[in-house]
Structure 1
Amino acid sequence: LHITNDIVCQWHIHVWDRMLAYHDVDITIHGKKFVTFLIPKFHLPAHIKECNLKFPFHLTRDVGQTDSKAPECGWANTNPLAKSTKEMGPGSQHDTLDDHFNDWNHK
């Protein structure tokens, strides 16, 4: 599991202590933690050298050249849909949003 965040270098320190509050969450496989914390490439240059060495995508196995910000790029284009979908029923809303996002995925 790869978790990315702009400031993961700060909040990852105590995340396991916080996770203990959730008794239903299994965060281990065979007794080992299986989470990797990463800073998105766009934000990494603003961090100190230690963060650049500890949390980079390009040095992480099975991640390579992932752009974790890509899913956010299309959000602004969905704002105009709010006006047309708020009067629709749930099925029509789903179909309209599905069509829009499918179109966006091909652009």
Structure 2
Amino acid sequence: MERVKYFLRIVETYDVARQYYVYLKSCCQANFPDLADVIDIIYLLVPKKHLDGHKEDCKYRFSLNYTEGVGRSHGEGIEASWAESKQSGGSTCQINHSHCHDTINDLHNYWNWNKLRGLGA
């Protein structure tokens, strides 16, 4: 529990988080026994856009709306950049791994910069 004391909780969102949640602790205890204590502070939740496709009880148990400390998060932040990232496919498919990594980093930095500039508008 030494490493866990620094975190209150770790919140992850994924559209099939409910399915992973069922076996997460037993899987970690079997394969990563030294990290099994970390599972107790991990909250696997379903992003709001994907919540409608789940059963009623899951909508409450795995919802960001009813989880303390996550506020009005929607859990879909990473998906917003995918459309921009796909545009780099043509220019990154033929370059070496290191250059590809740098190009994708540059693309995301530029995308984040544009998003940051637009926050005040």
TM normalised by structure 1 equals: 0.75
Q: Quote the RMSD (CA, aligned, Å).
A: 2.4
Instruction: Tell me the amino acid that sits aligned with residue 13 of structure 1.
Output: V
The answer as to 2:69 corresponding to 1:62 is yes
Contact 1:8 1:37 in 2 (8 A): yes
CA distance in 2, matches of 1:4, 1:79: 22
Amino acid at match of 1:61: E
Instruction: After the TM superposition, list the runs of 4 or more consecutive aligned residues in structure 1 that deviate by more than 6 angstroms.
Output: none
Mapped to 1, the partners of 2:68 and 2:34 lie a distance apart of 25
Distance 1:93 1:8, change over 3 A: closer
User: Structure 1 residues 47-56 or 17-26, which shifts more?
Assistant: 17-26
Label 1:61 to 1:86 Cα distance change in 2 as closer, same or farther (>3 A): same
Partner residue in 1 for 2:53 = 46
Q: Which secondary structure does the structure 2 equivalent of 1:74 belong to?
A: helix
- Structure 1 counterpart of 2:58, which letter? C
How does 1:9-88 map onto structure 2 within 5 Å?
9-23=18-32, 25-28=34-37, 33-88=40-95
Verify the 8 A CA contact 2:28 2:35 in the aligned structure 1: no
Partner of 2:119: none
TM-score normalised according to structure 2 size = 0.68
Write the letter of the residue equivalent to 1:8: A
Assess if the C-alpha contact under 8 Å between 2:64 and 2:73 holds in 1.
yes
Quick one: distance in 1 between partners of 2:96 and 2:18?
A: 43
Q: Could you say which structure has the higher helix fraction?
A: 2
Cα deviation, residue 87, structure 1: 4.4
Q: CA deviation at 1:84?
A: 2.1
